Structure 1
Amino acid sequence: MLVSVLDPEALFLARADSGELTRRRAVGAYLGLAVGDALGATVEFMMPREIQAEYQVHKDMHGGGWLKLRKGQVTDDTEMALALGRGILRAGRVEAQAAAEAFSDWMRTKPVDIGNTVRRGIAHFRQSGETEMPENDYDAGNGACMRCLPVALATLGDDAEAVDRANRIQAHVTHHNRLSDAGTLCIIRMVQAAILGSDKKGLKLLAEALVAEEPRFGFERKRVDNPSAYIVDTLKVVFQALFASDSFESALIEAVNRGGDADTTGAIIGMIAGALHGPANIPVRWSRHLERRIKQEAVSQAHALLALSPFVRSGLVS
């Protein structure tokens, strides 16, 4: 089992942080997710050498890409996280029916992008009313992981089993796969650890615990470029970029310049690095291009979801 970051010692240390600092880290995670998504979307499906030929280093918001996005426009990564957050807030907890309905409502908006596994899961819910897809060895994609931030916030301070259960509830609406579950749970725990004040060494222990449980996630040897949507490829890039960098900006630039599924690697590393470094360290030249409604909902959800969490409700944060 992965090491729990929510042990009594971690919670005791978190008491030393002000409630305001905890909330800022939660906001940093949400804004980091959106910024990473929008930055990476420009170079999604490009090879690193193509990115280099076009931009030398992709480090500014350009928009465009294969989806022909506006500068700062987000994709399904951020939109599905916000949809899940709405579902959790409506239900007051992580609930399968609320998550499935939220995803279905989102698909009705005709989103600019939607993954095949996500589309199939939502269609299954609409046709059958079932909120869990059958387990599938071929559904080890990153679609459940990219949207997991609301679960991390709403379950902050919960016990390990409850966090694991909440992870699977939202994931299995579209992705029912052991590797996807394990990788997504690790990211949830890393975000929670960063919000509680962990440093990068603490986050690396969680990544190493995932590798010990499932060696396919091993990230310390071969550099991964042009990552696919396979959860293993995605998280190898996230871990390599996160642990090789010393700032939010450098982590994001390192990840998205690997190309491939760059909006999702950007979104996932953005939520971790945003919590780790805080919103003040997200470059304004990136965040100012986010659509106002996206930015406002990200901030409001960060506060509202955190308010649902056992960590806040227990009085650990005033």
Structure 2
Amino acid sequence: MSPLIDLRQTKPDPALLTSEQRAMGAYIGLAVGDALGATTEFLTPREIKEKHGVHDKIIGGGWLRLKAGRVTDDTEMSLALGESILDHQGVEAKAVAEAFSQWMRKKPVDIGNTVRRGIVHYRNSGETAVAVNEFDAGNGACMRSLGISLFYCDAPQRERLEASRAQSHITHNNPMADAGTETVVEMVVAALKGWHKSRLEEMAASLVTRFPLYRYDRRRVENPSGYIVETLQVVFQALFANDNFENILIDVVNRGGDADTTGAIAGMLAGAYYGPNSIPAHWHKGLDVKVMLECRDQALKLLAAGKQQFPTPKQ
């Protein structure tokens, strides 16, 4: 099975991309960002510079001692959510919670404390939403949200946001995290539909207006934690300061901290905007082939299933 991606086209015009190309770019971009950032996760920018110079290759290692090309929970949970959406033609909270539970049973290489706590809560109580918690403003729901954008791309916004909250609240129930996750979901949808990057910047600005803590234009954020505010500050700074996929990802992962997640979120946004052929060929080749094909195939299936579920009204 061939990847269906012409790597000879290195600088496509974003305006000419199809939604299918953008969907593949988003999902493969997520996985590439995850694999690239896993190497520098929990390092400071100074430590990264001392160890790697400029980190720009998928080489594995890092604190998880990963094999080159392997991904972490960001990509794995995205695939688990996407599979559940396909199986049930939408987000059914219990089915998604069960998919996450089954994923955890496989003993993943990495899992966040808030995610683990949410899954254990579901196992013990059968409830598919944790209680509202001011300390649950992590990035774990946002990092896995791509399937919402793909399947619900043509759905009414209200349904899309309800689906986003349903999957998020299995592990994270916090207004700040909800707002950040929903903004990323809407930004990916905008990119899938071919909107200009200035529209994405307007969406980020709207988030800042509603939640000023997200303001990202004051100083360069480095060594971000898993706090969603810091995560999205880094992603927005890199996304809007650079004009191609490669530079956006290099910018993000060389800031260290929770670099696999900032890489994954930046990768899904930049991949949706610039398309799969904007991803350097050596990153395509460096990614685990099975994972790359899974991401590509699920991206196309989710987009197609969503178009069937939410057909665009005829003019």
TM interval, short-chain normalised: over 0.9
Query: Does 2:176 correspond to 1:179?
Result: yes
**Displacement, 1:300?**
1.1
Give the drift of 1:244.
0.5
Which residue is 1:124 aligned to? 121
| 1:135 and 2:108 are equivalent in the alignment | no
- Opposite residue 145 of structure 2, the aligned amino acid is C
Rounded Cα–Cα distance in structure 1 between residues aligned with 2:162 and 2:183: 13
Once residues 303 and 309 of structure 2 are traced to their aligned partners in structure 1, the CA distance between those partners, rounded to angstroms, is 7
How far apart are the structure 1 equivalents of 2:243 and 2:64? 31
Normalising by structure 2, report the TM-score: 0.93
Aligned residue number for residue 220 of structure 2: 223
**Residue 34 of structure 1 corresponds to which residue in structure 2?**
31
- Residue 193 of structure 2 is aligned to residue 196 of structure 1: yes
Task: Name structure 2 gaps, 5 residues minimum.
Answer: 1-13
Residue 154 of structure 1 contacts residue 305 of structure 1 at CA under 8 Å; is this kept in 2? yes
2:63 to 63, 66, 73: 66
Measure, in 2, the Cα distance between the counterparts of 1:18 and 1:309: 22
Partner of 1:5: none
Counterpart CA distance in 1 for 2:183 and 2:25 is 19
For the structure 1 residues 312 and 250, does the alpha-carbon distance in structure 2 shift closer, same or farther, using more than 3 Å as the test? farther
Alignment of 1:101-112 (within 5 A): 101-112=98-109
Cα distance between partner residues in 2 of 1:190 and 1:262? 20
Counterpart-to-counterpart distance in 2, 1:145 and 1:315: 27
In structure 1, distance between residues paired with 2:255 and 2:237: 11
2:211 pairs, out of 214, 217, 229, with 214
Find the aligned partners of 2:192 and 2:128 in 1 and give their Cα distance. 30
Q: Percent sequence identity over matched residues?
A: 54
Q: 5+ unaligned residues in a row in structure 1: which ranges?
A: 1-16
Query: Residue type of the partner of 1:27?
Result: M
* Aligned mates of 1:168, 1:141 — CA distance in 2: 14
Letter in 1 for 2:105: R
Aligned equivalent of 1:92, options 89, 92, 116: 89
Equivalent residue for 2:46, pick from 30, 33, 49: 49
Distance 1:312 1:126, change over 3 A: closer
Tell me if 1:301 matches 2:298: yes
Match of 1:314 in 2: 311
Deviations 1:20-53 (A, max 9, x none): 8110100000000000000000000000000011
How many matched pairs?
A: 301
TM-score (norm 1): 0.92
Distance between the aligned counterparts of 2:210 and 2:259, measured in 1? 26
Report the CA distance between 1:313 and its aligned residue: 4.2
Distance 1:20 1:237 in 2: 26
Show the counterpart of 2:7. Answer: none
Distance 1:153 1:34 in 2: 15
Q: Runs of at least 4 residues of structure 1 off by over 4 A?
A: 17-20, 310-313
Moved more, 90-99 or 252-261: 90-99
What's the offset of the Cα at 1:316? 7.1
- Taking the aligned partners of 1:312 and 1:297, their CA distance within structure 2 comes to 22
Cα RMSD of the aligned pairs, angstroms, is 1.7
Give the AA of the match of 2:110.
D
Match in the other structure for 1:9? none
Q: How does 1:238-277 map to 2 (within 5 A)?
A: 238-277=235-274
Q: 2:145 aligns with which of 142, 145, 148?
A: 148
**Distance in 2 separating the partners of 1:289 and 1:316:** 41
